[in-house]
């Protein structure tokens, strides 16, 4: 029997480097209905459903983190909206917004967002991130291997119209979408959206060489600065992005640069996988099994496992990219959660 979570606790989550953990990212599934080339191999082996945390267990773990000072939770995957009954988890966690939790958000590929946007808003969600690497139908289909960009754009606009603030996440890819980024930013300005650009991360074995697609965001930013009036913005979301505002608009431009601008000094994040592993760093393999702790010893064992994980949280990741470099870790991004 899993004991009920305690919703107040003065023992905050502090790692061995003095960083207070305020942000929990939860992968509710490693499955996805797309197969983006930089993220997954075309033929993926996903976890058996029997290995996954139950939604009730995800909620209990999340509520323990809220009790101990986490103020932001992001649901991700894989694609979170492919998990059946994920709306029930959103409803439950959303009930804590304003009661210990400042923000509940989601990262999605947008394919199912139109059908879910209203429920996300009703649950207390204020914004979502949507992965979109190209607005060109053929290019989008190539990057995702079979995706329909029209379906994703429909989801984006439905979310915006439902009242969600939408940020587009775009991985900069040489030879695929680098030349399209200025027009993507202009589209975001026209539609009242934000845009964050991301350097490709060396996570998991894929079918292509990431070196061929790597684009330093310093180069992309220089190109955008020549076309748009970009002003540094102090806006922070709790994540690693640095922000600029497109002057005269409501659109922010974020840069996430794990390779050219390490963002670890102020890291306040940990990640829970869909099978219950807690990773304290995206770029390291150290983890603790919260599912086993919760099932065997309830909340007390869960707390002890979390404390043990924080003691081993590294100071920084060690991402490198090169023709002879293996991925930083063997697991794919969809396992840990974006």
**Cα–Cα distance, 39 to 42 (Å, whole number):** 10
The SS3 call for residue 34 is coil
- Is pLDDT of 319 > 80? no
- Is pLDDT of 258 > 60? yes
- Is pLDDT of 75 > 60? yes
107 annotated ligand-binding residue: yes
10 annotated ligand-binding residue: no
How does the average pLDDT of the chain come out, rounded? 88
Q: For residues 172 and 253, is the Cβ–Cβ distance under 8 A? A: no
**Cα–Cα distance, 12 to 16 (Å, whole number):** 13
Per DSSP, 21 falls in state P
pLDDT at 149: 98
Q: pLDDT of 208-237, one tens digit each? A: 555 677 888 999 999 999 999 999 998 776
pLDDT at 157: 98
pLDDT at 1: 43
32 annotated ligand-binding residue: yes
Mean pLDDT of 29-52: 89
- Is pLDDT of 337 > 70? no
25 annotated ligand-binding residue: yes
**Cα–Cα distance, 180 to 197 (Å, whole number):** 12
**How far is the CA of 259 from the CAs of 170, 215, 269, 325, 334, in angstroms?**
16, 10, 18, 13, 19
If we measure between CA atoms, which residue out of 44, 28, 34, 80 comes closest to residue 204?
A: 44
Provide the CATH topology of domain 23-336. Answer: TIM Barrel (3.20.20)
- Is pLDDT of 330 > 80? no
201 annotated ligand-binding residue: yes
270 annotated ligand-binding residue: yes
Strands 269-272 and 23-27: parallel
pLDDT at 270: 94
Q: Place 37 in a pLDDT band, splitting at 50, 70 and 90.
A: confident
**Cα–Cα distance, 256 to 243 (Å, whole number):** 9
pLDDT at 214: 86
Q: Place 326 in a pLDDT band, splitting at 50, 70 and 90.
A: very low
**How far is the CA of 102 from the CAs of 69, 73, 86, 158, in angstroms?**
10, 9, 20, 24
Task: Report phi then psi at 81, rounded to 5.
Answer: -80, 0
**Cα–Cα distance, 195 to 224 (Å, whole number):** 12
281 annotated ligand-binding residue: yes
pLDDT at 7: 54
Higher per-residue pLDDT: 233 or 3? 233
Per DSSP (E only), the strands in the chain are: 23-27, 72-76, 103-108, 127-131, 165-171, 194-198, 230-233, 242-246, 252-256, 269-272, 277-279, 287-289
**How far is the CA of 233 from the CAs of 18, 126, 197, 246, 252, in angstroms?**
26, 20, 15, 9, 8
Mean pLDDT of 97-120: 98
pLDDT at 259: 56
DSSP letters along 164-188, please? -EEEEEEE-BTTTTGGGHHHHHHHH
pLDDT at 200: 83
Higher per-residue pLDDT: 240 or 96? 96
74 annotated ligand-binding residue: yes
pLDDT at 32: 94
167 annotated ligand-binding residue: yes
């Amino acid at each position: 029997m899993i004991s009920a979570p305690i919703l107040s606790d003065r023992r905050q989550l502090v790692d061995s480097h003095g960083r207070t953990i305020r942000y929990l990212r939860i992968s509710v599934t490693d499955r996805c209905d797309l197969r983006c080339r930089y993220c997954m191999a075309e033929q993926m082996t996903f976890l058996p459903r029997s290995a996954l945390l139950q939604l009730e267990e995800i909620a209990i773990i999340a509520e323990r983190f809220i009790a101990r000072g986490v103020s932001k939770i992001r649901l991700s995957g894989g694609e979170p909206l492919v998990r059946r009954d994920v709306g029930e988890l959103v409803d439950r966690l959303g009930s804590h917004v304003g009661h210990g939790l400042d923000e509940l958000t989601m990262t999605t590929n947008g394919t199912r967002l139109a059908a879910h946007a209203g429920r996300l808003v009703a649950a207390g969600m204020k914004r979502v991130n949507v992965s979109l690497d190209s607005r060109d139908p053929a290019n989008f289909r190539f990057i995702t291997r079979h995706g329909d960009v029209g379906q994703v754009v429909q989801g984006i606009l439905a979310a915006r119209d439902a009242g969600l603030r939408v940020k587009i996440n775009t991985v900069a890819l040489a030879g695929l979408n680098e030349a399209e980024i200025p027009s993507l930013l202009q589209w975001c300005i026209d539609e009242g959206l934000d845009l964050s650009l991301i350097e490709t991360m060396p996570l998991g074995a894929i079918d292509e060489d990431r070196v061929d697609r790597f684009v330093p965001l310093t180069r992309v930013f220089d190109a955008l600065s020549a076309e748009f009036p970009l002003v540094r913005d102090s806006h922070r979301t709790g994540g690693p992005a640095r922000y600029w505002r497109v002057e005269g608009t409501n659109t922010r431009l974020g840069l996430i640069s794990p390779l050219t601008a390490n963002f670890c000094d102020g890291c306040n994040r940990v990640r829970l996988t869909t099978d219950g592993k807690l990773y304290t760093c995206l770029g390291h393999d150290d983890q603790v099994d919260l599912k086993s702790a919760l099932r065997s010893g309830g909340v007390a064992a869960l707390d002890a496992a979390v404390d043990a994980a924080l003691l081993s949280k590294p100071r920084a990741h060690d991402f490198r990219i090169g023709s002879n470099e293996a991925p930083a870790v063997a697991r794919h991004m969809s396992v840990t959660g974006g």
